[in-house]
Chain A
Amino acid sequence: MASPSPAASFDSESYLDMDLLRLLTCGSVDDGKSTLIGRLLYDSKSIFEDQLEAAQVASLNRGDERVNLALLTDGLRAEREQGITIDVAYRYFATPRRKFIIADCPGHVQYTRNMVTGASTANLALILIDARHGVIEQTRRHAFIASLLRIPHMVVCVNKMDLVDWSEEVYEKIRDDFEGFAARLETTDISFIPMSALNGDNVVDRSQSTPWYDGPSLLHHLENVHIASDRDLIDPRMPVQWIVRPQSDEFHDYRGCAGKVASGVFRPGDEVMALPSGLTTTIESVDVGGEAVEAGFPPMSVALRLKDDIDVSRGDMICKPGNKPMVTQDLSAMVVWMSTTPMTPGKKYAIKHTTNSARCVIKELTYRMDIQALQRDESATELALNEIGRVNVRVTKPIFCDTYRTCRQTGSFIIIDEATNVTVGAGLITGTND
């Protein structure tokens, strides 16, 4: 299983130019998802000998013929016993160009909530298709969720190509089927790669078995896909998390509005507005750890020192006078339900949006999305676990938001059950409903 080692060529300075790609893998038990991840980790030297040894021993104990790479990733005892992935697991590997964070999600419909969780932070979705089965209902569901969560890039891995004799015809058919259906999705960057994760074909290196395929290997694609322009540098938004206020004589007048920049760029001298007060002032300096930096931009965590001592506290939003978010108590949103207790209109919940916590009531369920058939069911009266629907929500106080399409950070919220404190829903804002 030995192969070239990208990790071995790290030198002490080049890491300063590495960037970060977060990807999501979706597939079912038999698509070879865990095998693919095991392969990426192994071939990029992110699996260590002792971890491999542990997987070898476990494979032997189970009577597997060869080392089961899936055992490298299935972390909880119940998963190893049942041979399935229950929860989102995070994996890490790096090449000299990029660090990768994989959110490894179970594919089955009853794990939609796990996939949504993994998708919420991903820049790229890897969708696995078993070449023998082609595009199935599950493939469409995965692509729909990736699109709903607005993952900007999608890679369709047509796996187990060795089991269909590396047939170009089979690959083309799958590609056409997928494209036909994906035309209705909002993801524009979709790539296709024929591969065998088990044997490593087209995973790290181009395979000899696919002379008819002129695209890159999966790893090459992951290293080169352009992600820098996925961020919004136009619309300045910074939800205020915390006020840095030293209780010392030396820094008596220091007051920093701390937060993570959601979008846009903040520079010293910029005129900014704080919501809800609507008061404006200019930025004196943008600090990290008490030291000035040139600018604050996503995804930086900074502290803004403002020229005037205006009233700002946690939950407020810093924006610009000519570029403000929506200010509303009435939201329309897509909601993914994550609790075994169904969501019913009229019920009250706690809500967390950016750095704001409030209460809300679900006023109306407009429709439920049938994620198998991808059709709207307007007769639905509740959302059960793993169901997705369009709702109108009334919040107890105004929130400062954008649509999820414009900004993931200011366009998302979670719904919390006030009795159990459990996160029961994920919301993606589609607009106001005043």
Chain B
Amino acid sequence: MSSYSLNHLRQLEAEAIHIMREVASEFERPALMFSGGKDSIVMVRLAEKAFRPAKFPFPLLHVDTGHNFPEALAFRDELVERLGERLIVAPVQELIDSGEAVEDPGAWPSRNRAQIPTLLKAIETHRFDALFGGARRDEEKARAKERIFSFRDEFGQWDPKNQRPELWSLYNGRIQMGEHIRVFPISNWTEMDVWQYIKLEEVDVPSIYFTHQRDVVTRMGQLMPVGDAPFQARDNEDVEIGKTVRFRTVGDMSCTAATESPASNIDDIISEVAGARASERGARMDDKTNEAAMEDRKKEGYF
């Protein structure tokens, strides 16, 4: 490439850094949503690019479903330790215990919906006025229309038909008391961009993204992990022992499917993503409920 040119990853990086600095400047109490998944790990790297050698001007916030992969939790703690940044954990279990959040019915239900009140309570408790999320517009078609600065009313709701126009890189972060903004610095990244950036920057990710042996069952055409308490096979399900799999996303264990894969390093994953014929969210049971599942959850305050 000629001099003074940036490849697509560096351009996306520059955009994300700019967004993070705008938020740090214009809001009083931002926080960065951190799940231990690759997208939030990339966000942390981008925050380092934006603010080092100083500390981040915001804490990390983990909405803990209690259904985490142990590998992801260990990774989270190690990363936070190494960064020397502040982590706030908001446990979904606490709200279920107090009756403020309700679990979906059924055996080993997803806690996706129970995350919503947990997140909203954390926002209220800590009076966060801006939350960084690692959502990308390529993930799902309702997200394709979401702004980088996504306005939420006092109930945390998203109104897709009444979004602020977002022009150039001039973000309008003005809010009233009680309202907040969700900010998505990697909106314009794809799954491929994220992996390429992880390679370019030599970013560490949790081991479950790489191939390993795991006990799984086939449920609704998806390979679901079992064996890690409390997730067990249901009565009529046959457990396949030690299947060679990896995960494309690190979500709630109860609704995150594995894919058969021998990919053992980032290059393997990049090749796999290039050839993949199923979307990343295709491995999320929670999006299969109906055609507008994501749109509905987002309106209620989901990420």
Contacts and interface: CB of A to CB of B under 8 A. Distances in A.
Asked if A and B bind, the verdict is yes
Nearest to B166: A117
Contacts of B17: 260, 288, 301
Interface stretch (B46-54, B93-101, B117-125): B46-54
Nearest to B151: A421
Contacts of B175: 421
A241 B50 CA distance: 11
A416 B171 CA distance: 11
A215 interface: no
Contact of A409 (B10, B24, B168, B196): B168
B2 interface: yes
Interface stretch (B60-68, B105-113, B134-142, B232-240): B134-142
B1 A17 contact: yes
A166 interface: no
A297 B6 CA distance: 9
B167 A17 contact: no
Interface string B67-81: 000000000000000
Nearest to B162: A422
Interface in A379-434: 408-409, 412-414, 416, 421-423, 426
A289 B50 CA distance: 6
Contacts of B274: 7-8, 10
Nearest to B164: A423
B199 interface: yes
B21 interface: yes
Contacts of B55: 246-248
A50 interface: yes
Interface in A240-274: 241-242, 244-248, 250-251, 254, 258-260, 265
B167 A117 contact: yes
B18 A260 contact: yes
B282 A289 contact: no
Interface stretch (A69-77, A155-163, A187-195): A69-77
Contact of B270 (A10, A91, A288, A314): A10
A350 B279 CA distance: 42
Given A301-B14, A416-B172, A338 B165 contact: yes
Given A48-B276, A88-B145, A89-B145, A15 B196 contact: yes
B10 to A, nearest CB: 8
A414 B21 CA distance: 19
B188 A92 contact: yes
Nearest to A9: B274
Interface residues of B, number: 71
A290 B160 contact: no
A242 B22 CA distance: 8
Contacts, number: 210
Given A12-B271, A48-B276, A117-B165, A18 B8 contact: yes
Contact of A76 (B22, B160, B169, B277): B160
A295 B6 CA distance: 12
B6 A73 contact: no
Contacts of A94: 8, 190, 192
A51 interface: yes
Contact of A299 (B6, B160, B279): B6
A297 B4 contact: yes
Contact of A114 (B14, B165, B279): B165
A228 B53 contact: no
A423 B291 contact: no
A50 B278 contact: yes
Interface size class of A (residues with CB under 8 A): 35 or more
B15 interface: yes
A352 interface: yes
A196 interface: no
Contacts of A101: 188
Nearest to A413: B170
A355 interface: yes
Contacts of B176: 421
Contacts of A311: none
A352 B149 CA distance: 15
A16 B11 CA distance: 12
B161 interface: yes
A125 interface: no
Given A75-B145, A114-B165, A241 B22 contact: yes
Given A76-B160, A244-B54, A246-B53, A20 B172 contact: no
Contact of B14 (A88, A99, A117, A300): A300
B220 interface: no
Contacts of A265: 4
Interface string B7-27: 111111111011001101100
A113 B170 CA distance: 15
Contact of B172 (A10, A231, A354, A414): A414
Given A90-B188, A245-B54, A50 B168 contact: no
A86 B199 CA distance: 37
Contacts of B143: 75
A299 B25 contact: no
Contacts of A241: 18, 21-22, 25
Contact of B15 (A299, A338, A353): A299
A241 B169 CA distance: 12
A67 interface: no
B144 A90 contact: yes
A116 interface: yes
A231 B267 CA distance: 33
Given A54-B291, A73-B141, A99-B190, 13 more contacts: A19-B7, A20-B12, A50-B281, A58-B291, A89-B145, A92-B137, A120-B168, A254-B54, A301-B17, A301-B18, A412-B168, A416-B174, A422-B172
Interface of A: 7-8, 10-12, 15-20, 46, 48-51, 54, 58, 72-78, 80, 86-92, 94, 98-99, 101, 113-114, 116-117, 120-121, 228, 231, 233, 241-242, 244-248, 250-251, 254, 258-260, 265, 288-290, 295, 297, 299-301, 314, 338, 350, 352-355, 408-409, 412-414, 416, 421-423, 426
Interface of B: 1-2, 4-15, 17-18, 21-22, 24-25, 48-55, 137-138, 141-145, 160-161, 163-170, 172, 174-176, 187-188, 190, 192-193, 196, 199-200, 267, 270-271, 274-279, 281-282, 291-292, 295
10 contacts: A15-B8, A16-B200, A19-B5, A76-B142, A89-B144, A90-B188, A246-B53, A260-B18, A289-B49, A299-B11
